[in-house]
Structure 1
């Protein structure tokens, strides 16, 4: 199984990237590629820019990565209750190139934040919208209070209950 994992965040120290890297590693015998959405940075989407520039190659490159995967693991950072601007822009350009961005791939959708909310608001939005973009949500999980529940040095969840929930979520990719 080939898994593409990425954080929907442009932060170089993304806690969501740490989470998806760990989560994807839980799938036995999987080939995992962790993307950095900074590699797909494009001008802010607008209809005017699309008319002027056309569809950027980087949007197609991102879609090609998704096409080559058997499954996706995405970690959503939350900015003011919503998607990060970096992810929303990448998604907007990608959806203009191919409306079915997720290409009927199984999805594990995750979110975390330093606070007790665990980015649950943006996760709910992602779970709710994924089917409209041809994503098959197999499982989703919010991890609250990241630094209390994740051992950054070891790169793994230290909260046993959350670790079990994440392992169960990731097992859904093998079903």
Structure 2
């Protein structure tokens, strides 16, 4: 059985990206899914000085252990001012100091959504470009625009064309596991 680690790259308690990540990960049958909450990995803001004084924060090691134990990683990115959320970027900054390979070259499925019609495309493009270069395994992506018009809790994606697009990307991801 393949193990998927999924998370919304947001610290919002009502994160629409966590909802999308949870939906997408659980839509793939035949695997074990672990959904992480970034609030469980809140650390002081990373700085080289803090790392020299205190070492790498223990929660960074715990986060990396989750990634290491996965066969594949699914992330849905929140877009804050056109880039990663501060919560995700801080975890990434801390955890990336542990080992060179952040995602261990595991298959990645990158998602994004937002209330607006672009669906977090700017942050998704940033992540896709960065992780396509840094990760040797499959990186696939999907953006869900206008979250509140195209997604219903308990039902998932309601727009059939968008749902089909997501499942095409999930099939690629699943095949790479």
- For Structure 1 versus Structure 2, the TM-score category normalised by the shorter chain is over 0.9
C-alpha distance in structure 1 between counterparts of 2:61 and 2:173, whole Å: 25
Q: 1:119 to 1:141 in 2, by over 3 A?
A: same
Cα shift at 1:155:
4.0
Give 1:1-16 correspondences, 5 Å limit.
1-16=2-17
Q: Secondary structure at 2:172's aligned position in 1?
A: helix
Tell me the equivalent position of 2:58: 57
SS of the aligned residue for 1:105 comes to coil
Task: Give the corresponding residue for 1:167.
Answer: 167
TM-score by length of structure 2 reads: 0.95
- Matched positions, count: 174
Q: What is residue 146 of structure 2 aligned with on the other side?
A: 145
Which segments of 5 or more consecutive residues in structure 2 lack a partner in the other structure?
none
Instruction: Tell me what 1:95 maps to.
Output: 96
The residue number in structure 2 matching 1:46 is 47
Could you tell me the TM-score, scaled by structure 1's length? 0.96
Mind listing any 5+ residue stretches in structure 1 that lack a counterpart? none
Q: Counterparts of 2:32 and 2:136 in 1: how far apart (Å)? A: 20
Tell me how far 1:118 sits from its aligned partner. Answer: 0.5
Is contact 2:16–2:147 with CA below 8 Å preserved after alignment?
yes
| SS in structure 1 at match of 2:44 | coil
CA contact (8 A) 1:6 1:20 kept: yes
Note closer, same or farther for the CA distance 1:128–1:150 as it changes in structure 2 (3 Å cut): same
Q: SS of the counterpart of 1:139?
A: strand
Give the conservation status (yes or no) of the 8 Å contact 1:112–1:118.
yes
In the other structure, the counterpart of 1:66 is: 67
- RMSD (CA atoms): 1.1
1:107-146 matches, within 5 Å, as: 107-134=108-135, 136-146=137-147
Deviations 1:33-86 (A, max 9, x none): 000011011110011111111011111111110010000110000000000000
Q: Partners in 1 of 2:172 and 2:125 — Cα distance? A: 19
Counterpart Cα distance in 1 of 2:6 and 2:163: 18
